[in-house]
Amino acid sequence: MSKGTLYDATKCIGCRACQVACKQWNELPAEKTTNSGTCENPPRMTAYTFTKINFTELEYNGKFQWVFNKQQCMHCQEPGCAEACIVGALEKTEAGPVTYDDGKCIGCRYCMVACPFGIPNFEWDKPLPWIRKCTFCADRQGAGLRPACVTTCPTGALKFGERDELIAEAQGRIAEHPDKYVNHIYGAQEVGGTSWLYLSPVPFEEIGFTTLPSVPVTINAERAMAAVPPVLVGVAAAMAGIYWLVQRQQKIGQKAGEEEKQKEKVK
Amino acid sequence: MRQLRQSLPIGTFILGCLVILGLIPMVLRYINGLGAISNLSDGRPWGFWISFDLYCGVALAAGGFTLAGIVYIFGREKYHSVARPAILTAFLGYLLVIFALLVDLGQPWYIWHAIIYWNVHSPLFEVAICVMTYTAVLALEFSPAVFERLSELNVPVIRRFNWRIPLRVIRAIQIPLVIAGIALSTLHQSSLGTMLLMMPQSLHPLWYTPVLPLLFLLSAISVGPAMVIFESTLSNRAFGHELAIDVLSGLARAIPYILGLYLLLKLVDLLVAGELGLIFTAYPINLLWWAEIIIGVVTPIILLSRPAIRQNRRGVFWGSVLVIFGLVLNRFNVSMLALGMRPGFTYFPHWMEVAISVALVADALLVIWLSYRFLHIAEHEEAVAE
């Protein structure tokens, strides 16, 4: 069984206590920012900010809405980053978190390019840089604790538990209040499913979620990689065969030439 | 010696300056981090180095395995004289890729982790293993040129060793080496396409297709002979020996067939995916697609399939330049221009990013210059030397 977290945007009040808790637990430094004209801060996630609340003002169903959504690593069921990682530094654990091992990482940044949510970030300002992203507090989970952000959330917008049970609960909440939610659990199907699940009062694309298909991003690469061993053997065999044929033909040609020469000599 | 002094001047001096200029950002990178010398960001983690050094560098090194195949496997002795320069440039191309990675990687001193921590599912792992093994194969394929020269030298310590022994060893394993080189190149050229298969959302549908690895392989095979024509024409100019037009036009003859197959596959793939309409509707990104196809594929097909142009040195040369341009544009398209960024980011290469790549190319040119001077690269030179 793997763990997950359900984020209910209708319960979030945008207090950003989760951002603070995350920084504290992961001992991340503060970042110097400027007023961007919204209540959002910092402007975007970086190697030093693993989670961030986005604020969206919009009109939906003829009503003004101020909707929040929490961004962090989605901890995919079939993560592109882990498939991409050249040394296997990123791994999907059975418990749910996609963990990162800086003892293996070489800093190639393929994970950053391969992530469909644009999550892993890089320490661009350091001479010895690593990749950084939300850990789903794998360390806390290992000790039987809930993730720092979930623990600190004052309104119950974040709920930590078994992923399957959370999906059932989310379906229940939608069924109970179909007027309050759009009928979509983001993360239940997207890119093969994610450990983090979302409920929203407005369509997800309106608040900055990418519309993603339910097939994992890894599917085409997996197929191509499966073809590698047969292609290797096939090409080598074909080349060896062609070489043998060409050599044989040349030998036959030479022999014919020699025979003609001998015939000429006899004459 | 007189010969050396004559050709040393301005060209090599400029190359030397470019190399030194490229060292400055390399030092800065290890003090202030990658952000200080590049415009790379979380939104665009792969930039000019990956597009130019890795994607173009590897593809333009395709002359090595195509020529080795034509000469040693298909037994076309006619092209023997261009095989060695082709292998040399391929070898240098791969070294360029490795050196560029040492700048691009966050933790280059851990690059050997790729050898001990295997993730066999990662396309990049395939790339890494191919780069390592194929560079070794190329070094061995090229080594006879060095051993030959060493065996001729009458210098104290060197003449005591019998250089004919390693030479004989390499000659004995030459055919297996060439076959290994072709198999590794097939995997490696296509694996750069496989790498992009991980980005179905960010790569534009005009370029994203499950057959990307095959398209990469085909375009690399087509650019192999073009690159050999390009290089040998330039080295003719620089080192003053002339290659038979027969060889050049023979190489050029193969290009339209491969490019034709490539174009057909590209169009059929878009048709099957039901995205052929995008070539008209996806403005402005479709302009890049059209530029790539018209300049780099259709025009060279028309030009190089005409015997009159193939018999003309300039015609063959410019036809090849178009093929190379088309390939470079294609690799930049798939790995940068048509590859989406995270929202809110922009990217244009920093001058120091370009300076590092230019320095690496200058390095390669200097090594080519030295090789032509001191080794038997083109067989015409051999005659002159003797």
How close does chain B come to A247, measured CA to CA in Å?
A: 8
pLDDT at B382: 39
What distance in Å separates the CA atoms of residue B84 and residue B366, rounded to the nearest whole number? 17
Write out chain A residues lying below 8 Å of B45, CB-based: 109, 112-113, 122
What distance in Å separates the CA atoms of residue A4 and residue A158, rounded to the nearest whole number? 10
Q: Report yes or no: B173 at the A interface, CB cutoff 8 Å.
A: no
- What is the SS3 assignment for A199? strand
Cβ within 8 Å of B, A 90-119: 104-110, 112-114, 116, 118
Write out chain B residues lying below 8 Å of A228, CB-based: 126, 187, 191
Q: Do A235 and B183 touch (CB under 8 A)?
A: yes
Question: Span A242-255, mean pLDDT?
Answer: 90
The rounded percent of chain A whose pLDDT value lies above 90 is: 87
What distance in Å separates the CA atoms of residue B220 and residue A228, rounded to the nearest whole number? 18
What is the complex's ipTM, to 2 decimals?
0.90
Give the distance, in angstroms, between the CA of residue B291 and the centroid of all CA atoms in the same chain. 21
What distance in Å separates the CA atoms of residue A120 and residue A114, rounded to the nearest whole number? 9
Q: Which residue do the tokens 């040369």 mark?
A: B317
Write out chain A residues lying below 8 Å of B126, CB-based: 225, 228
How close does chain A come to B308, measured CA to CA in Å?
A: 30
Q: How many other CB atoms are found less than 10 A from the CB of residue A123? A: 19
pLDDT at B384: 35
pLDDT at B385: 36
Residue A53: name the closest of A12, A108, A96, A93 by CA.
A12
pLDDT at A255: 83
Residue B84: name the closest of B259, B193, B228, B201 by CA.
B228
Asked if residue B342 lies in contact with residue A118, where contact means CB atoms within 8 angstroms, the answer is yes
How close does chain A come to B343, measured CA to CA in Å?
A: 9
Q: Which residue do the tokens 């850990």 mark?
A: A135
pLDDT at B7: 54
Cβ within 8 Å of A, B 246-265: none
Q: What is the largest CA-CA distance in chain B?
A: 71
CA-nearest residue to B214 within chain A is: A224
- What is the SS3 assignment for B75? coil
What distance in Å separates the CA atoms of residue A240 and residue A19, rounded to the nearest whole number? 61
Write out chain B residues lying below 8 Å of A88, CB-based: 117-119, 122
pLDDT at A262: 80
Give pLDDT tens digits for A48-68. 999 999 999 999 989 999 999
What distance in Å separates the CA atoms of residue A84 and residue B349, rounded to the nearest whole number? 25
Please report which helix (H) or strand (E) contains residue A160, including its range: strand A158-162
Asked if residue A112 lies in contact with residue A131, where contact means CB atoms within 8 angstroms, the answer is yes
Q: Which residue do the tokens 């980005």 mark?
A: B199
Q: Do B182 and A223 touch (CB under 8 A)?
A: no
CA-nearest residue to A82 within chain B is: B122
Q: Is the dihedral of CA A7, A13, A14, A16 positive or negative?
A: negative
Tokens of B338: 């048509």
What distance in Å separates the CA atoms of residue A245 and residue B235, rounded to the nearest whole number? 34
What distance in Å separates the CA atoms of residue B75 and residue B244, rounded to the nearest whole number? 18
Tokens of B31: 């003090």
CB neighbours of B86 closer than 8 A, spacing ≥ 6? B63, B64, B66, B67, B68, B224, B227, B228, B231
B216 residue type, one letter: F
pLDDT at B300: 96
* Minimal Cβ distance to A129: which of B34, B175, B213: B34
Q: Report yes or no: B123 at the A interface, CB cutoff 8 Å.
A: yes
Among the residue ranges A32-46, A192-206, B33-47, the one predicted with the least confidence is: A32-46
CA-nearest residue to A112 within chain B is: B45
Q: Which residue do the tokens 């069921």 mark?
A: A77
Residue A196: name the closest of A149, A155, A234 by CA.
A149
Tokens of A119: 């999550």
CA distances from A42 to A26, A46, A121, B175, B363 (A): 17, 9, 15, 60, 43
pLDDT at B386: 31
Q: Do A86 and B128 touch (CB under 8 A)?
A: yes
Tokens of B278: 């995008």
Asked if residue B355 lies in contact with residue B17, where contact means CB atoms within 8 angstroms, the answer is no
Q: Do A246 and B32 touch (CB under 8 A)?
A: no
Q: Do B200 and A220 touch (CB under 8 A)?
A: yes
CA-nearest residue to A85 within chain B is: B122
Q: Report yes or no: B135 at the A interface, CB cutoff 8 Å.
A: no
Q: Report yes or no: B122 at the A interface, CB cutoff 8 Å.
A: yes
Q: What is the mean pLDDT of each run of 10 residues along chain B (386 residues)?
A: 54 89 90 93 95 94 93 90 90 92 92 92 94 94 89 79 86 92 95 95 94 96 95 83 85 94 96 91 92 95 93 93 96 95 93 94 91 76 36
Q: How many other CB atoms are found less than 10 A from the CB of residue B191? A: 28
Task: Tally A–B CB contacts below 8 A.
Answer: 178
B333 residue type, one letter: N
Average pLDDT, chain A: 93
Cβ within 8 Å of A, B 90-109: 101, 104-108
Give the distance, in angstroms, between the CA of residue B119 and the centroid of all CA atoms in the same chain. 26
The angle formed by the CA atoms of residues B125, B129 and B134, to the nearest 5 degrees, is 145
